Chains A and B, each alone.
Chain A
């Protein structure tokens, strides 16, 4: 049984994530799991007392005080999460998803996603991005989940989710891209959407041949395929093209390069996750 897992919490865009997950679950004919992760931050002190003094039973006293504080916060967070999850379950059931589960886990989001990976076909996540001086700052969660999980991830930006009717497939002729093409070809649910193969860069004969072959491959598998060739930097021109053409979703492969290279030259996957205003489906 296919299973879509949506990671939700109170921050970011839970409503859009919920809608996106419902759409994906229905398109895939999958069951839907809403996951809420209670992420504690033990590296942060919840309170501080600068009296610098320790008296009778200081250690036991401090332990019970800190434990009590943690307990109260956990109960609250758990209750809040449960309410969010319950709301989403009702929404998904009303929308006609056959099987809806809700789950709460302690720990870090990334850990939980990896732990549950075996029972998941697609992970849906929202973005907790916030504007900083340096521009839009992508919450590390999405990026770290994509790096850690071997399953596809659907990242949903914005506060509302619009059902995609078409998608752009970022293609650069690399091995990663070719593997991704195979994966897309087997995804029956994507056939309902019009596909545009997008190549960014200067087109030579070999690349043209690659693109033609890719188009032919997808067409034989029943896709409606168009081609677009763009010039400029990927993270700028690709989102522009998407909005100009009204393409509803971006599909791409994840992290073709080593971590060290990304550290130096940056990664277009991260950049696109940050700049795209439509959902991004990242395939492994």
Chain B
């Protein structure tokens, strides 16, 4: 179902405005928290969240999805910032955008079809775990006040919505932040607050060229980071887009989203923001709050900037414990609990793929590696499964002088060995007929396996006749198209 551009902007004005406000309130603590993960001033993440949401609202392909500074991306920047400083991060952000636009123009979003459901679930869970782990530094070597504040924060976040009337009208993360800030200021608690973490925005963002030498050396430093950032950013964006697709029962333009993410990152790099992408947790909050259109994403960015710039002195007083509580909520809300419950119901191979994705991601802090491992493993499992769809039957003809083998199913690298083993070379017959007309030979491995079988029979002194090889090896052509052949049928159809 297509929704016109006008409807995407103005079809849901009231819902989008309110949802934008709710999202902005939740974006502020996240942007600050992710800046701290990346090792930059909070203003870098806050400017990034503003510019990414505003640009993606216009250029993106998935209305109602929230993009901003994210944890997945922040984790990838840590060493770059530590070794080379902020300016290189900004340059890498711009280059990330360029890579993403190229990916969009080449329609690489389509590659998402190789990412199975289990990998997506693994990605989401790994993301949740990483967000949670990133909070631990704020919870180690601190006084009991911080634990008490964090616990109180979580209690407010999950308890407040149960209050009648106001519960569903006021975002509980906001209540948590306001109450904890008030308590910390009133009691004069000596605990870390946002102001201690670095500079906050004191003005509207301005256009700045990243201050790096434009040399090949710079490119060599930033290109590997940019490439990983681009891949992870697009992966999370594509996954979030399909989650929003499901939630709202609408479709999105994946290629446009890739290009949009690229434009958003380029724009962000030039106003001093860090690279970002779509956010699963925030997008769920947006849909839950009634946000559906581009307006909600746009207004989330605008509200965020207004609040941060004008409430700067207050924002710096927010205790880190309040942010930690909000981030724990995001982590819990992002985690797919269904996947834990269904761990046993699902086939073991799916569960293994999911767990491997999680383990690789959490241990490398790199979602790209986790997804790569997951995709590879699911491909191997799939090849193994399809390899089992191969059967060799045999019967004797002409008073035991001739043996006819009939091969059906898929013969390729995974099933080739089993294919060879299915023939009885010990049997002494004068003639062997191998009917492969109802089999499919997918690759060179399959053909050489057949050659091997023929050769072996010849050595045993049998005359070998192979029937239907032409039909069977049609599938070997790389551009195997069913539509352009007469009497085309699906390879599995017989």
Smallest Cβ-Cβ distance to B124: which chain A residue? A59
Taking a contact as CB atoms under 8 Å apart, the answer to whether A59 and B25 are in contact is no
Pick from B1, B158, B173, B288: contact of A49, CB below 8 A: B288
Assess whether A212 is interfacial by the CB under 8 Å rule: no
Given contact pairs A43-B7, A54-B285, A57-B338, A48 touches B333 in the complex (Cβ within 8 A)? no
Smallest Cβ-Cβ distance to B248: which chain A residue? A42
Q: Please count how many residues in chain A sit with their CB below 8 Å of the partner chain's CB atoms.
A: 27
Assess whether A204 is interfacial by the CB under 8 Å rule: no
CB-contacts of B311-333 with A (<8 A): 329-330, 332-333
Assess whether B170 is interfacial by the CB under 8 Å rule: yes
Q: Closest Cβ of chain B: how far from A259's Cβ, in Å?
A: 15
Q: Closest Cβ of chain A: how far from B132's Cβ, in Å?
A: 14
Complex CA–CA separation, A66 to B330 (angstroms): 20
CB-contacts of A38-61 with B (<8 A): 40-45, 47-60
Given contact pairs A42-B249, A54-B285, A48 touches B19 in the complex (Cβ within 8 A)? yes
Assess whether B73 is interfacial by the CB under 8 Å rule: no
Assess whether A62 is interfacial by the CB under 8 Å rule: yes
Complex CA–CA separation, A91 to B243 (angstroms): 46
Question: Which residues of A are found within 8 Å of B338, using beta-carbon distances?
Answer: 57, 60
Q: Closest Cβ of chain B: how far from A77's Cβ, in Å?
A: 15
Complex CA–CA separation, A66 to B11 (angstroms): 18
Smallest Cβ-Cβ distance to B160: which chain A residue? A51
Question: Which residues of B are found within 8 Å of A203, using beta-carbon distances?
Answer: none
Assess whether A108 is interfacial by the CB under 8 Å rule: yes
Question: Which residues of B are found within 8 Å of A55, using beta-carbon distances?
Answer: 158, 329, 332-333
Q: Closest Cβ of chain A: how far from B427's Cβ, in Å?
A: 57
Taking a contact as CB atoms under 8 Å apart, the answer to whether B247 and A63 are in contact is yes
Interface residues of B toward A: which range? 35 or more
Complex CA–CA separation, A50 to B26 (angstroms): 11
Taking a contact as CB atoms under 8 Å apart, the answer to whether B22 and A45 are in contact is no
Pick from B23, B284, B290, B336: contact of A47, CB below 8 A: B290
Given contact pairs A43-B11, A59-B243, A108-B1, A52 touches B248 in the complex (Cβ within 8 A)? no
Pick from B7, B11, B168, B284: contact of A58, CB below 8 A: B284
Question: Which residues of A are found within 8 Å of B337, using beta-carbon distances?
Answer: 56-57, 60
Given contact pairs A57-B338, A107-B1, A51 touches B172 in the complex (Cβ within 8 A)? yes
Given contact pairs A51-B160, A53-B173, A43 touches B246 in the complex (Cβ within 8 A)? no
Smallest Cβ-Cβ distance to A65: which chain B residue? B288
Given contact pairs A43-B11, A62-B287, A53 touches B246 in the complex (Cβ within 8 A)? no
Question: Which residues of B are found within 8 Å of A63, using beta-carbon distances?
Answer: 246-247
Assess whether B271 is interfacial by the CB under 8 Å rule: no
Taking a contact as CB atoms under 8 Å apart, the answer to whether B247 and A40 are in contact is no
Question: Which residues of A are found within 8 Å of B290, using beta-carbon distances?
Answer: 45, 47-50
Assess whether A119 is interfacial by the CB under 8 Å rule: no
Taking a contact as CB atoms under 8 Å apart, the answer to whether A50 and B249 are in contact is no
Q: Closest Cβ of chain B: how far from A107's Cβ, in Å?
A: 6
Assess whether B201 is interfacial by the CB under 8 Å rule: no
Assess whether B195 is interfacial by the CB under 8 Å rule: no
Question: Which residues of B are found within 8 Å of A67, using beta-carbon distances?
Answer: 249
Taking a contact as CB atoms under 8 Å apart, the answer to whether B168 and A49 are in contact is yes
Assess whether B468 is interfacial by the CB under 8 Å rule: no
Complex CA–CA separation, A57 to B333 (angstroms): 6
Q: Closest Cβ of chain B: how far from A217's Cβ, in Å?
A: 42
Q: Closest Cβ of chain A: how far from B403's Cβ, in Å?
A: 56
Smallest Cβ-Cβ distance to B331: which chain A residue? A54
Complex CA–CA separation, A208 to B25 (angstroms): 71
Taking a contact as CB atoms under 8 Å apart, the answer to whether A59 and B167 are in contact is no
Pick from B11, B174, B333: contact of A54, CB below 8 A: B333
Complex CA–CA separation, A141 to B243 (angstroms): 31
Given contact pairs A44-B292, A47-B290, A108-B1, A52 touches B12 in the complex (Cβ within 8 A)? no
Taking a contact as CB atoms under 8 Å apart, the answer to whether A62 and B3 are in contact is no
Assess whether A139 is interfacial by the CB under 8 Å rule: no
Assess whether B250 is interfacial by the CB under 8 Å rule: yes
Given contact pairs A53-B157, A62-B284, A45 touches B15 in the complex (Cβ within 8 A)? yes
Pick from A42, A51, A70: contact of B1, CB below 8 A: A42
Taking a contact as CB atoms under 8 Å apart, the answer to whether A43 and B293 are in contact is yes
Taking a contact as CB atoms under 8 Å apart, the answer to whether A45 and B173 are in contact is no
Given contact pairs A62-B247, A108-B1, A54 touches B329 in the complex (Cβ within 8 A)? yes
Question: Which residues of A are found within 8 Å of B330, using beta-carbon distances?
Answer: 54
Taking a contact as CB atoms under 8 Å apart, the answer to whether B158 and A43 are in contact is no
CB-contacts of A161-182 with B (<8 A): none
Pick from B63, B171, B293, B336: contact of A53, CB below 8 A: B171
Complex CA–CA separation, A31 to B250 (angstroms): 35
Q: Closest Cβ of chain A: how far from B171's Cβ, in Å?
A: 3
Pick from B8, B280, B289: contact of A43, CB below 8 A: B8
Question: Which residues of A are found within 8 Å of B336, using beta-carbon distances?
Answer: 57, 59-60
Assess whether B161 is interfacial by the CB under 8 Å rule: yes
Question: Which residues of B are found within 8 Å of A62, using beta-carbon distances?
Answer: 247, 284, 287-288
Assess whether B18 is interfacial by the CB under 8 Å rule: yes
Complex CA–CA separation, A40 to B169 (angstroms): 27
Taking a contact as CB atoms under 8 Å apart, the answer to whether A52 and B25 are in contact is yes
Taking a contact as CB atoms under 8 Å apart, the answer to whether A52 and B247 are in contact is no
Taking a contact as CB atoms under 8 Å apart, the answer to whether A51 and B171 are in contact is yes
Question: Which residues of B are found within 8 Å of A70, using beta-carbon distances?
Answer: 249
Q: Closest Cβ of chain A: how far from B150's Cβ, in Å?
A: 16
Taking a contact as CB atoms under 8 Å apart, the answer to whether B284 and A59 are in contact is yes
Taking a contact as CB atoms under 8 Å apart, the answer to whether A52 and B171 are in contact is yes
Q: Closest Cβ of chain B: how far from A53's Cβ, in Å?
A: 5
Assess whether B205 is interfacial by the CB under 8 Å rule: no
Pick from B1, B15, B285: contact of A52, CB below 8 A: B285
Interface centre among A41, A44, A55, A66 (most CB of B within 10 A): A44
Taking a contact as CB atoms under 8 Å apart, the answer to whether A44 and B284 are in contact is no
CB-contacts of B412-456 with A (<8 A): none
Complex CA–CA separation, A107 to B251 (angstroms): 13
CB-contacts of B235-266 with A (<8 A): 243, 246-250
Assess whether B60 is interfacial by the CB under 8 Å rule: no
Given contact pairs A42-B3, A45-B291, A50 touches B332 in the complex (Cβ within 8 A)? no
Question: Which residues of A are found within 8 Å of B12, using beta-carbon distances?
Answer: 43-45
Complex CA–CA separation, A224 to B19 (angstroms): 63
Can you list 28 A-B pairs, Cβ within 8 angstroms, ordered by A?
A: A42-B3, A42-B248, A42-B250, A42-B292, A43-B250, A44-B15, A44-B292, A45-B15, A49-B168, A49-B289, A50-B19, A50-B22, A50-B289, A51-B160, A52-B22, A52-B171, A52-B172, A52-B173, A53-B160, A53-B173, A54-B285, A54-B329, A54-B330, A54-B334, A59-B243, A59-B333, A62-B287, A108-B1
Closest 6 CB pairs of A and B: A48-B290, A54-B333, A52-B171, A43-B11, A45-B290, A51-B161
Besides A43-B292, A54-B329, 15 other CB < 8 A contacts?
A: A45-B15, A45-B292, A49-B289, A50-B19, A51-B160, A51-B167, A51-B168, A51-B171, A53-B157, A56-B335, A56-B337, A57-B336, A59-B243, A59-B284, A108-B1
